[in-house]
Amino acid sequence: MNHFLKYFLAWFPMLLLAIANGALRDLVYKKYLGELTAHQVSTLSLIILFTVYIGFIIKWIPPASANQAMLVGLLWLVLTLAFEFGFGRYRGNSWEKLFADYNLLKGRLWILLPAWVTIAPWLFFKLGNRG
């Protein structure tokens, strides 16, 4: 099977992790922490989940080169943003509401997640190929 097809398919469990993480936030700790703090905790917990998952994927299906690892990150970025904005618009959210999660000046940390999805494959590739 083509490596990029494998990486494409490997993105879908990240979607499931994100949905489960969001459900945990909304159903369990949001009422105790408030919306902004719950969003921040949820973002950081999803980054941790993605770190473990992406590390596993890059070890299991190692990219052939650093350039290929960068392309994997870009593929996952495009898929992540397409899903986030596509599904958000489908649910009736305005562009303003969708972009609000990216405002670091208002304590919104979500931009860290697509940034991490983009660089993590390259970083894990580099860490796995030292020496």
Is there a domain that residue 3 lies in? no
CA dihedral of 100, 105, 109, 112, whole degrees rounded to 10: 100
Q: Answer whether residue 98 is part of any domain.
A: yes
Model pLDDT for residues 104-126, shown as the tens digit of each residue? 999 999 999 999 999 999 999 99
Does residue 51 sit within a domain? yes
Where do we find the tokens 């303003």? 96
Instruction: With respect to residue 37, please indicate whether it lies within any of the assigned structural domains.
Output: yes
**Domain count across the chain:** 1
Structural domain boundaries, residue 70: 18-128
Return d(Cα 61, Cα 125) in angstroms, integer.
Answer: 10
The answer as to whether 48 is a domain residue is yes
Q: φ, ψ for residue 72 (rounded to 5)?
A: -60, -45
Q: Has residue 101 been placed in a domain?
A: yes
Give mean pLDDT, residues 38-49: 97
Is 31 strand, coil or helix?
helix
- What single DSSP character describes residue 64? S
pLDDT given for residue 15 in this prediction: 96
